[in-house]
Amino acid sequence: MRLSAKETTPAVGHDRLKKLKAKLLPPAAMAFDPTATGLRITLLQGGQQVFQRFIAGPRWTVVRPGKLFRFTDPAGTLVSGIVKAKVKRSPSGLMVQLSGIELDLSAIDGSALELRSDLGAATFASSLTCAASPSSGSPNVKCQEAP
């Protein structure tokens, strides 16, 4: 799982989630369909929720049944700043990708995070190690799955 975020201005609520990408390992026989169940992404830090978004089932588009689903909202108004998302099944698992704008990511302090992804009744969790790094005057936060 990887997360990359950029603090775009000092004002709260204007951060950009460049990309959150997670590889989930569901049971091989598990059927998934975000158009039916939706997708909830939660980031926790020290056991406290610091970010959560839910993309409801009707918001998803089926690209390839049972294999690829997309959500797109260039303005980021339908799901509080999320502009695109993708859920894709491959032989190695499920890949979830999320991007957003105009978000408040101020509670993420660049240390350790836990990611929870919910597809209906199935919950997946990953522990992340994060580091802040300056970039063009604005800090970036990059996280990777903890070893």
* pLDDT tens profile 8-50: 555 555 566 777 777 777 766 677 889 999 999 888 888 888 8
**Residue 57 has which token pair?**
């089932």
Indicate whether 137 pLDDT > 80: no
List all residues 6 or more positions away from 96 whose beta carbon is below 8 Å from its beta carbon. Answer: 20, 21, 22, 23, 24, 39, 41, 85, 86, 87, 117
Grade residue 82 by pLDDT with cuts at 50, 70 and 90. very high
Higher model confidence: residue 2 or residue 43? 43
Q: How many CA atoms lie within 13 A of 84 on its CB side?
A: 8
CA distance linking residue 97 with residue 117, whole number of Å: 11
**Residue 95 has which token pair?**
């890949």
> Are 16 and 106 in contact, with CB atoms under 8 Å apart?
no
Q: What would the mean pLDDT of 1-5 be, rounded to a whole number?
A: 57
> Are 136 and 123 in contact, with CB atoms under 8 Å apart?
no
Nearest partner of 109 among 128, 87, 89, 84, judged by Cα? 128
Question: What does each C-alpha distance from 90 to 31, 33, 81, 98 come to in angstroms?
Answer: 13, 14, 27, 17
What was the pLDDT predicted at 47? 83
84-131: pLDDT as tens digits = 999 998 888 888 888 888 777 777 765 677 778 888 778 877 777 776
Return the domain boundaries, the chain.
2-145
